[in-house]
Amino acid sequence: MLGPGSGLSHQAASIVDRSQVDAAIAAARPQVVFNCAAYNAVDRAEAESNLSYDVNAEGPLNLAMACSRNGSMLVHFSTNFVFDGAKDAPYVETDEPAPISVYGSSKLAGERLVLESGARVLVIRTAAVFGRGVNFPTRILQRASSGDRLRVVSDQKVNPTYAKDLAQAALELAGGGVTGLVHVVADGCTSWDDYARAVLEEVGVAAPVESVPTAAVPTAARRPLNGCLESMRHRPLRPWREALHEYATDVLQSRAQ
């Protein structure tokens, strides 16, 4: 959580433990702290609201207060789930949040706590992040390889955002001393079913994707139908399909073989 090359694992320092956070930041005295910790099990959060708020709200506040005491800047990542998805256009920074899930509510609480903490804080809202590890493209590819039926919702839209591009933008913004709330997402918005088809196309896997409405795939937590973001403060990242192509070439091709 302390920045490139010096990140701490959950085992080394949990953000919900104020004393661990204070000790870690006091020892390292970083210029910038990047908070990549989050409780993002969206459906499970409906039954584990206390844990969700501990990690997504109280934990970031612990970081913000420790940063304030040590003269560090905090970069905190948030989500498009702070919106209800009812808007007909992409959401910008000045739109009023209205979360419809415990996860979204806990992330919004975290945003507000750190921004009101008095620390130097940059909150970056982003959406549908993919990178190394388990994510939407890897899950689609795994299901296709296993011969599973691919039923993917068609009425929810997002900006698929490459973690590599997001990280670079976060470094640039922090390096420029930008504070407050900024949306940082890939250029372009797409539905999850078309996203799935793009993943399969990039790796050359022929598997049918069945488009279904959200109502046909019930989940514990509600999702915003319109999860698209735009920014009034930052240029969009490169187009999502261009980023996906690079990611597929660098990461996904080996999984498809």
What is the SS3 assignment for 257? coil
Distance between CA atoms of 36 and 26, rounded to whole angstroms?
19
Beta bridge mates, 35: 76
Distance between CA atoms of 188 and 159, rounded to whole angstroms?
6
DSSP 132-188: SSS-HHHHHHHHHHTT--EEEESS-EE--EEHHHHHHHHHHHHHTT--EEEE--EE-
Axis crossing angle, helix 59-70 with helix 18-28, rounded to the nearest 10:
30
Who contacts 171 (Cβ-Cβ below 8 Å, separation ≥6)? 4
Residue type, 2: L
Positions marked catalytic: 103
Token code pair at residue 231: 């920014």
Element (H, E) at 110: helix 102-115
